[in-house]
Chains A and B, each alone.
Chain A
Amino acid sequence: MKRLHWISPLLAWGVVVLAAVFIPWGTHLILSVGRTEDELGLKVGWIRKIEEIERYAWRLGCSRLDAVEAAKPGDVETESNLHERYQQQLEAVRTSATSDTIVQEGLSKLALLVARMEDLHARGNEPRTERSEIAPSPAEWLSATNAATTEAQVLEAKLRKDLKRISQALSSDWLQINLMAILSCALAVTLALVLFAYDRSLKDRKQAEEEERLLRAELAHVGRLSVVGEMGTNLAHELNQPLSAIHSYLAGCVRRLQQEGGDHADLIQAMHAAAEEARRASSIIQRMREFVRRSKPLTSTVDLNELVREMLPLLSGELKEQRVQPELRLAKALEPVLADRVQIGQVLVNLIRNSLEAMSHIPTSERKLIIRTSMAADHAVEVAVEDTGGGLSPDVLQNLFQPFHTTKPKGMGMGLAISRTIIDAHGGWIRADPGPGRGAIFHFQIPCLQRVASS
């Protein structure tokens, strides 16, 4: 039943460890993906711009080559527009990639090459003067254009290589993120399932325990009813005592009043005594009713000395019938136990009646009943009921606490079985031993409140 208790700390630790691992890992991954994506965007932007620069260089080169071949001036307006855009792109890449040395180097090389082209262009645009001979030749244009575009392509290729690396890292990050998400989902589901199962098993166990408790209480109740049934005539005798006393008191009062010779104070005293007897009768009924009441099991702190004294009046009829005056040897300092008062009272009644029954065949002078309470080792209270009856043969001793095992002509043989069930449920034990001379000692122990609290 208690095997599942290790689960709840384990679950708690599992949750803590998962949180400690998954939260930093996840945060790291998400941040890194963000950074990588930014970088990727930046690099893609650079590539676009460098492509534009390349296009500019190419177009400038082509347009000049065409112009040179056609021996006419190029489209100045378009060219100046292109130049402007080229400057913008160059500037944009330069400022945004200040920390990237490869790009910076590439750019400065490119810028030099383009500057050379523009220089060629500027030379070509001058009026055909003495410098016309130094007007750039198509071959010059071609090589300048090729150099610029090649450089742009080299830079672009470098960037694309970077881009590839970055996107690879990015996809690996995403892979990790997905993996983590799947893993944590799976773990969460498992955790939830385990928790659910644990909760269910707890509930089932609680329910089973509750059912068992109620069943035991019901059994004990039936046991008490049968005990009271067996004690019926003796209980009636107990009630008859105060009732006949009341009758005698009142009849005496009536006679005195009829004779008009009664002393007032005496009459009052007798009536008081009658009232006291009525109270005694009602307390007997009260105690009996408490004993047979169908009650839910109710644990409270119980002083066993007090309980012994409370149960004896219920049995006084039987004690008298057997001419037995019980000898009480109650421990002075007895720790309270946590118990169901009525049920432990029932065990006491069972044991005492058992002893009386055992002594019914021996002469009255030899009958002796000792009820003892004491503190036992390991914070338990022991109660012993000792008699001088016929004792217990080993055969009887073996089956003593089995249900329906009886040596009595009347009785169901449930008393001791029920007693053991009750004591077991209280976490104690009950046992029978041979008495010091003849007879038997029945004793039981129940753990004290202190032991119950500390465990």
Chain B
Amino acid sequence: MIARSTVFIVDDDPGVRKSLTWLLESVRLQVETYESAQSFLEACTPERPGCLLLDLRMPGMGGLELQQALSAQGIPLPVIFVTGHGDVPAAVRAFKAGAFDFLEKPFSDHELLERIHEAIALDTDARAVRAQKAAVREQVESLTPRQRDILDLVVSGATSKDIAQHLGLSLSTVEGHRIRILRRMGAEGVADLVRVVTRAEIGPRSNGPGARVGPKAAG
């Protein structure tokens, strides 16, 4: 989005923090360092894009715990674990919890920078997708209940005639709603509308009328 991606470094060792900053700034990455998991947890917000370079072992809260805390708070930063002493169980736990990568010291600068760039790219993509989904969701939210009903039915593959019959409306009314829905959603046609809504993962409302219409393959 508009904010620049930041590499957040959390490591208790000041030498490691400073040297990584020096390395990452050489490729013009924006870097922020934190000396403990707690201080990062207090400072971070879900909005800020980038990736997290996390030391596995720190006094107090460790890397794995911070990872759990972040996912519990819904902060979707990709996490690259960095450790001087990588043991397999810790790596397995990290990956299970959704770590982006697990690097063992000493790692090459190429490897690290490559992984950081990949992680930032992933984060950027994920943010774009999330933003798009959010936009679609917002548009869907802005529909009237009637229009929402009709949208659900359209997405589940019902024809206008089926919808009119199902909702007890006239065909022309349904057609009119469809046109307004397409316009509101910025879709070029029914197929486009179905694709956008499906990608945004907006399911039919459980208490909506669409629930009673069997789902069919969408265009």
Contacts and interface: CB of A to CB of B under 8 A. Distances in A.
B59 interface: yes
B106 A243 contact: yes
A324 B59 CA distance: 5
A236 B84 contact: yes
Interface string B3-34: 00000000011011011101111110000000
A319 B19 contact: no
A247 B107 CA distance: 9
Nearest to A270: B22
Interface in A206-226: none
A391 interface: no
Interface string A415-448: 0000000000000000000000000000000000
B19 A248 contact: yes
Contacts of A94: none
Residue picked from A233, A255, A274, most chain B C-beta under 10 Å: A255
Contacts of A276: 15
A136 interface: no
A320 B16 contact: no
Given A240-B85, A319-B59, A255 B26 contact: yes
Contacts of A247: 19, 106, 109
Given A240-B105, A241-B16, A317-B85, A251 B23 contact: yes
B18 A320 contact: no
Contacts of A244: 16, 19, 84, 105-107
Interface string A231-244: 00110111011111
B83 to A, nearest CB: 8
B60 interface: yes
Contacts of B108: 251
B62 interface: yes
A326 to B, nearest CB: 9
Interface string A7-31: 0000000000000000000000000
A121 interface: no
Contacts of A364: 60-62, 65
B60 A325 contact: yes
B57 interface: yes
B152 to A, nearest CB: 48
B59 A237 contact: no
A233 B20 CA distance: 23
B23 A252 contact: yes
Contacts of B23: 248-249, 251-252, 255
Contact of A323 (B16, B22, B26, B61): B61
Interface in B30-74: 57-62, 65
Given A236-B85, A240-B84, A240-B106, A277 B19 contact: yes
A20 B213 CA distance: 132
Nearest to B15: A245
Interface of A is mostly: helix
Contacts of A259: 26
A316 B210 CA distance: 62
A331 interface: no
Contact of A325 (B13, B18, B59, B83): B59
Interface in A261-291: 262, 270, 273-274, 276-277, 280
Residue picked from B20, B22, B57, B61, most chain A C-beta under 10 Å: B22
B103 to A, nearest CB: 10
A273 B58 contact: no
Contact of B62 (A248, A270, A273, A323): A323
Given A240-B84, A243-B105, A320 B12 contact: yes
A22 to B, nearest CB: 79
Nearest to B22: A252
A273 B22 CA distance: 10
A248 B12 contact: no
B15 to A, nearest CB: 4
Contacts of B20: 245, 248
A320 B109 contact: no
Contact of B26 (A241, A252, A274): A252
Contacts of B18: 245, 273
Contact of B25 (A252, A274, A320): A252
A320 B106 contact: no
A66 interface: no
Q: Please list the 10 inter-chain residue pairs (A to B) with the smallest Cβ-Cβ separation, ordered nearest first.
A: A251-B109, A240-B84, A248-B19, A237-B85, A237-B84, A245-B19, A255-B26, A252-B23, A252-B22, A245-B15
29 contacts: A236-B84, A236-B85, A237-B57, A240-B84, A241-B13, A241-B84, A243-B105, A244-B19, A244-B105, A244-B106, A245-B16, A246-B19, A248-B16, A248-B19, A248-B20, A248-B109, A249-B19, A251-B26, A251-B109, A252-B25, A255-B23, A273-B15, A273-B22, A321-B85, A323-B58, A323-B61, A323-B62, A325-B60, A364-B61
